[in-house]
Amino acid sequence: MSQPLRIGNASGFYGDRFTAVREMLEGGRLDVLTGDYLAELTMLILGRSKLKDPAGGYATTFLRQMEDTLGLAAERGTKIVTNAGGLNPGGLAAQLRDLAGRLGIDVKIAHVEGDDLLPRAKELGLADSRYGQPLTANAYLGAWGIVECLKAGADIVVTGRVTDASLVVGPAAAHHGWSRDDWDALAGATAAGHVLECGAQATGGNFAFFQEIYNVKPLGFPLAEIHPDGSSIITKHEGTGGTVTIETVTAQLLYEIGDPAYLGPDVTSRFDTVELSQQGPDRVHVSGTKGSPPPATTKVCLNHLGGHRNEMTFVLTGLDIEAKAEFAKAQLEAAFGDDRPAQVEWTLIGTVKPDPATQGEATALLRCAVLDPDPDKVGRSFSGAVVELALAGYPGFTMTSPPGKGSPYGVYTPAFVANEEINHIAVLPDGTRTPITPAPITSPMTASTPTPATEPTPGPGTASGPGGGSGGRVPLGRVVGARSGDKGGDANIGVWARTDAQWRWLEGFLTIERLNELLPETREHSVTRHVLPQLRAVNFVVQGLLQEGVSASTRFDPQGKALGEWLRSRLVDIPEAIL
Whole-angstrom CA distances from 246 to 198, 204, 498, 568 are 16, 11, 10, 19
Is 108 inside any structural domain? Answer: yes
Say if residue 45 is in the same domain as residue 175.
Answer: yes
Say if residue 151 is in the same domain as residue 207.
Answer: yes
Say if residue 243 is in the same domain as residue 319.
Answer: no
Tell me how far apart the alpha carbons of residues 276 and 534 are, in angstroms, rounded to a whole number.
8
User: Which residues of the chain are under the pLDDT cut of 50?
Assistant: 451-468
Which of 38, 52, 144 has its CA nearest to residue 87?
38
Say if residue 261 is in the same domain as residue 365.
Answer: no
Is 450 inside any structural domain? Answer: no
Tell me how far apart the alpha carbons of residues 103 and 564 are, in angstroms, rounded to a whole number.
47
Torsion of CA 411, 412, 414, 417, to 10 degrees: 70
Tell me how far apart the alpha carbons of residues 469 and 463 are, in angstroms, rounded to a whole number.
12
Describe the crossing of helices 246-253 and 183-196 by its angle, rounded to 10 degrees. Answer: 100
AA identity, residue 239: G
Q: Residue 509: what pLDDT? A: 98
The per-residue DSSP string of 412-439 comes to: EEEEEEEGGG---EEE-TTS-EEE-PPP
Say if residue 345 is in the same domain as residue 419.
Answer: no
Q: Residue 446: what pLDDT? A: 55
Tell me how far apart the alpha carbons of residues 253 and 194 are, in angstroms, rounded to a whole number.
6
Is 465 inside any structural domain? Answer: no
Per-residue DSSP letter, 352? P
CATH of the domain at 324: 3.30.70
Say if residue 294 is in the same domain as residue 312.
Answer: no
Say if residue 281 is in the same domain as residue 400.
Answer: no
Say if residue 25 is in the same domain as residue 144.
Answer: yes
Domain that holds residue 203: 5-301+414-435
Tell me how far apart the alpha carbons of residues 167 and 83 are, in angstroms, rounded to a whole number.
8
Question: How do the residues of the chain divide into helix, strand and coil, expressed in percent and rounded to 5?
Answer: 30, 30, 40
Is 101 inside any structural domain? Answer: yes
Say if residue 321 is in the same domain as residue 295.
Answer: no
Say if residue 480 is in the same domain as residue 534.
Answer: yes
Is 82 inside any structural domain? Answer: yes
Q: Residue 95: what pLDDT? A: 98
Which of 498, 457, 505 has its CA nearest to residue 477?
498
- Which pairing describes strands 490-497 and 480-487: parallel, antiparallel, or unpaired? antiparallel
Is 449 inside any structural domain? Answer: no
CA of residue 376 relative to chain centroid, distance: 32
Which residues share a beta bridge with 5?
226
Q: Residue 215: what pLDDT? A: 74
Say if residue 185 is in the same domain as residue 236.
Answer: yes
Total residue count of the chain as it appears in this document = 579
Is 460 inside any structural domain? Answer: no
Is 440 inside any structural domain? Answer: no
Tell me how far apart the alpha carbons of residues 401 and 383 are, in angstroms, rounded to a whole number.
10
Number of domains in the chain: 3
pTM: 0.94
Say if residue 280 is in the same domain as residue 223.
Answer: yes
